[in-house]
A and B are shown apart, each in its own frame.
Chain A
Amino acid sequence: MRYIDLSAITQEHVRGCWEVESRMVNPGSQQNLFADVRIIEIKPDHYRSVNGKERRGLWQVVREEELIYNPQLKFFIEGNEVGNAIITRLRVDEAGQSELYKLTLYFHTGLELTLQKNSPLPI
C-alpha cells in the first residue's frame, strides 16, 4: 500500500474508468449530480458518468494552492460547473499482477466518493 503525494497528482492520474467503491452522502449533498453515480469514466477530452442514465461533460484538474493544498477536480456540463471536488487521497494497493487504485473525492456539498479501478495507470 502506498499513497501518491497530492502535490504530484496530474490529470493523467485521474484518467480511467472508475467504479464507486463507497460513498458518504449527507442531507446537503443528496441533490449533487454525483450522489448516486456508479461509474465515472474520465477520458482525455470528456467524462461520462453513469447512474442509470449517462451524463457527459468536461473535466479539469485545478490547483489553487494559495487557497488549498489539495488538487481539485471540476466537472462541467454545457459550460456550467456541475461538480467541484477536492482529491483527498490517491492510494495504490498491490493486487497480484495489477494494482488497485483508490481515488477519494470530497465535493463541496459534503458528498464523499471513493472510486477504484483495477488497472495500471496510463502514465
Chain B
Amino acid sequence: MNQIPFDFEQARAKHLLFKSRLRSLLYGLPADVTPVISHTECQVGQWIYSEALPAYGHIPEMQDLERVHRDIHTVARTLVALYNDGKVEEARAGLEEVEKTAQQLTTLLSAVEAKLGAGEGTAGDKAVDAHISELTSLARANEKLEEVIRSHSGRLSAERQTLYDALMQLPATIAVLKGPDHVFELANPAFLAGFPNPDILGKPVREVLPSLEGQGFFELINHVYRTGEPFTGNEMKIIVSLEDGTRAEAYINLNYQALRNALGEIDGVISFSYNVSEAVLARKQAEESEKRFRFLSNAMPVQTWTADAAGTLQYVNEGWRSYFGKDADALQAEGWNRIVHPDDLAQVREKWAAAAGSHSIFEAEVRLRQHTGNYRWHLVRAVPYTSDDVLTWYGTSTDIHDMKSLQDQLRQSYEDLEVKVKFRNIELERALRELQKEVETLRAASTP
C-alpha cells in the first residue's frame, strides 16, 4: 500500500499535463496530439488500464473514474476536430466542459484514494512530500504555460485577423472548399463578386458553379483533395455562364492546394486564382497582328525586313530567304559586305550613315548578291519607326534588275545609234572624198 499515494499523485500530475496539451493544440501551439485524443494512449489511461483497474476495479468509484476519463477524451477529440475544421472559437469554448469533467475526475481520484485509506499516513511522508512538491512545480509550470498560451493566442488572433483582412482585400479570387464534396467554407469578396447571389457558403462547388462541368476543374480539385499534390495552371481557359445566360471565355492563373488538419489529414482544398484575361487577350491580339503582318509580308513580291537602330536584322520575309538562301541571323553573321556589290558598298555606307543619323528614309539602288552568286539590281528602302523610344527600321528591297537592264539597253541602243550614224557618215565622207578625187582626175585628164 505504500505505492498508493505515489500512484494517485502521479495520475493527478499527468492529468494536468493532458489539459495543458489540449489547450496548446487548441491555441495552435505544437503538442503531441495522440495522448490528447486517445484515452488509452495518454499516461493517465495507461495507469488506469495497466495498474489502477486491475488493482482497484472492485471499488465503484474506480469504475466511474475510468468512464469519466474516457468521456474527457471523447470531448477532447471533438474539440480537436472542431479546431481542425476551422471552428476555433467553438473548440476553445469546449475547454470549460473539459474542465468540469476534469473536476469530476479529480474528485473520483480522491474518493478512490480515500476508500483505500491511503490518506492515513501509512506511506512514507518523505515520498508524499516529494510528490506534492513535484505536483506544485507542475502546477506552476502549467500556469506559466497558460500565460504563454494567452499571450500567443492574442498575437495569433491579431495575425489571423490581419491575414484574413488581407485575403479579403486581394484582387485575386480565393475560396476554401471543405470535405469530399468541396463545400464552400470561405470565399473572398473578389470571388463572390462573380455571383449575382453571393450566398454560396455551405454549398458544394458543383452546385455553385455548374458551368464548370466538363472543363476539368472539378477533376483537378478531386485530384488535389485525393493526393495532396498541389496544382498550378497558367492562362487556363475557363468558360463561365453570365447572368444573362450567355457564356463568356476567360483566362485564369490557378492554384489548388490541399488543406490539412492537425492530424495531417487532407480535409479541404484552397483555390487561388487570378483573372489574366486582359493580358492574355492583348497578347493573343498582338500575336494575331504579328501573324497578319508576316502573312502580308510574305505575300508581297518584294523582300521585306526589319532591323534595330544599329541596323541589325531582326526579321526577314520568305522573299528575302528565298533570294539570299539565308535567314536573318545567318545573313547578319556574314555582314552586308557579303551581299552588296563591292562597287555599291561606299554609296550604301554613306547613305545609311546619313539616314541613321537623322532618322530619315534610306533609299539606294544597289546590286544584291543572290544565293546563286549572281547580282541583281534592287531598290532598297528603309523607313524608321519609333515606338516606346525603340527605333525600328522597316525595309523593302525591290528587284529592279529588269527595269535597270531595260534602261541600260535603251541607253546603249541610243549610243549605238549615234555611233552607227557617225560611222556611216564617216564612210560616206570617205566615199565622197574618193569620188571628188576621181572627178578631179577626170577633169584634169579632159582639160586641154
Contact = CB atoms under 8 A, between A and B. Distances in A.
Interface string A13-43: 0000000000000000000000000000000
A86 interface: yes
Interface residues of A, number: 12
A95 B309 CA distance: 42
A88 B424 CA distance: 13
A69 B424 CA distance: 14
B408 to A, nearest CB: 10
A70 B423 CA distance: 9
A67 B426 contact: yes
A64 B423 CA distance: 11
Contacts of B424: 108, 110
A75 interface: no
A25 B426 CA distance: 20
Contact of B419 (A70, A108, A110): A70
A64 B416 CA distance: 17
Q: How large is the interface on B (under 10, 10 to 19, 20 to 34, 35 or more residues)?
A: under 10
Contacts of A68: 419, 422-423, 426
A42 to B, nearest CB: 20
A88 B420 contact: yes
B147 interface: no
A110 B424 CA distance: 8
Nearest to B416: A88
A49 interface: no
A38 to B, nearest CB: 23
Contacts of A110: 424
A119 to B, nearest CB: 22
Contacts of A88: 416, 419-420
B427 A84 contact: yes
B422 A106 contact: no
Nearest to A110: B424
B416 A108 contact: no
A68 B430 CA distance: 14
A69 B415 CA distance: 11
A106 B422 CA distance: 12
Interface string A86-111: 10110000000000000000101010
Given A67-B426, A106-B419, A108-B424, 5 more contacts: A68-B426, A70-B423, A89-B412, A89-B416, A108-B427
Interface of A: 64, 67-70, 84, 86, 88-89, 106, 108, 110
20 contacts: A67-B426, A68-B419, A68-B422, A68-B423, A68-B426, A69-B419, A70-B419, A84-B427, A86-B419, A86-B420, A88-B416, A88-B419, A88-B420, A89-B412, A89-B416, A106-B420, A106-B423, A108-B423, A108-B424, A108-B427
Interface of B: 412, 416, 419-420, 422-424, 426-427
Q: Top 4 A-B pairs ranked by shortest CB distance?
A: A108-B427, A86-B423, A88-B416, A106-B420
